[in-house]
Each structure stands twice: as structure tokens, then as C-alpha cells.
Chain A
């Protein structure tokens, strides 16, 4: 039991291996989800599971779509300058 606790704690004092590659961009998803959840938790008047999840899903989708659209525009600009 103690060794498991130390193992978990050790994970917090050494960085994970994350390469500089397109897959690293997926780390934006949990953050976008956290932002959507907390923002909606402050905005929704009465929290019911179904309504809250729907609101969070819509905001999460909007954030991801906006980021993808921005990436496409920036990629296009770089491509035009090449």
C-alpha cells in the first residue's frame, strides 16, 4: 500500500514524457472541457444533470471548433507566405 502511495507521489515530482508533435495538441481537450464545465457552473441558474451536460457539450464544441478554425486560418496564412 505504502509503495503505491510513494509511486503516485513520485509521478508528481518528475515530468511526463510529452513530445513536440501534433499529438501533443490533444492536451487542449481536457483544458477546454474544464473551462466549459466551470464557466457553465457559474452561468446556469439551476443545475439539472441533463441541461447542464447539454450546455457544457455545446460550449466545449464551440471552443474546439473555434480553435480548429483558427488553426486552419493560421496554417493558410503560413502556406500563402511560403
Chain B
């Protein structure tokens, strides 16, 4: 592995973070951590899917339940598209299913945020270690 310049390192860390946001687990995939990437992708996608299955896609609503939307948006930019589709209560959502759906979708988003931060940290640590070995 060649040593990156400071600008390249920042770009690399940014791309790890961005990819991890675009597709859950993809940040790890870029670091060649394939098992970790697969586990994160399957778990986060499934948790998010359970949330919208239980509560309907109406649980994603940046107009009426924007605090939940902050957590949900961490899943992927796809949530913004879903949010535009469901804004203002175009889909039925109520009661306990709405509660459970919002909790599942927001928690899966926060878990993805944890993975993004961890992937960026691993990328940084990996680069620093590589640089120290080369010295």
C-alpha cells in the first residue's frame, strides 16, 4: 500500500464515510473488510425494512415527524427520496405500528452512523499504521 498525501488521505476518509452513507456497510467494503461490510449491510437494511413494513413508509415524514427523520436520514440518501414521496401524510400511519416503525428506522439510521464513524476511524488508523511501518 502506498503512502497517501495529506489531501489524498482526507479525500479517502471522506469517500469511506460517503460510501458508508450511500450503502450501509460499503465503507468497510472499501477497506476490504468484506465480512464486516456484509453483516452491517444485512442487519441495517433488515432493521430499516422491518420498520417500514410494520409502520408503513408513512413513518418517514420530515414535515410531521422531523426529529425521527434526522435519525432515519442516516440510513442512506434513499430516505430523502422516500421522504419526498411521503411528506405531509400521504400514507396511512398511526398508533403502535407508527411508534415501532419510527423507532426501528431511526435506530437503524443511528447504527449506520456508528458504522460510518467506525469505518472512517479504521481507515485513518490503517493509514497511520501503514505510514509508520514505511518509516
| Chain B residues in 8 Å Cβ range of A17 | 97
Q: Which of A20-45 contact B (CB under 8 A)?
A: 20, 24, 27, 30-31, 34-35, 37-39, 41-42
Contacting pair A39 B47 (CB below 8 A): no
Cβ A13 vs Cβ B115 within 8 A: no
CA distance A12 to B56 in the complex (A): 5
Cα separation A42 to B118 with both chains bound (whole Å):
7
Instruction: Please tell me if the beta carbons of A39 and B104 are within 8 angstroms of each other in the complex.
Output: no
Count the A-B residue pairs with Cβ separation under 8 angstroms: how many? 81
Known contacts A13-B57, A15-B97, A42-B115; is-contact A30 B92 (Cβ 8 Å): no
Q: Number of A residues contacting the other chain (C-beta, 8 Å)? A: 23
Is A4 an interface position by the 8 A CB rule? Answer: no
* B93 touches A (CB below 8 Å): yes
Report the separation of the CA atoms of residues A68 and B118 in the bound assembly, to the nearest whole angstrom.
30
Q: Is B71 positioned at the interface, with any CB of A under 8 Å from its CB?
A: no
Contacts of B93 in A (CB 8 A): 15
In the assembled complex, B74 has its CB within 8 A of some CB on chain A: no
Residues of B with C-beta under 8 A to A38: 39-40, 43-44, 111, 114-115
Report which of B39, B47, B101 forms a contact with A47, defined as CB distance below 8 A: B39
Contact between A15 and B103 (Cβ–Cβ < 8 Å)? no
A11 at the interface (CB under 8 A from B): yes
> Are A37 and B96 interface neighbours, CB within 8 A?
no
| Most B Cβ at <10 Å: residue of A14, A42, A47 | A42
Q: Could you tell me the distance between the alpha carbons of A15 and B95 in the complex, rounded to whole angstroms?
A: 9
Closest to B24 in A: A38
Query: Could you list some 22 contacts between A and B, CB below 8 A?
Result: A11-B53, A12-B53, A13-B57, A13-B58, A14-B91, A15-B55, A19-B96, A20-B95, A20-B96, A24-B96, A27-B54, A30-B50, A31-B103, A31-B104, A34-B47, A35-B111, A38-B44, A39-B111, A39-B114, A41-B43, A47-B35, A47-B36
Interface residues of A (CB under 8 A from B): 11-20, 24, 27, 30-31, 34-35, 37-39, 41-42, 47, 52
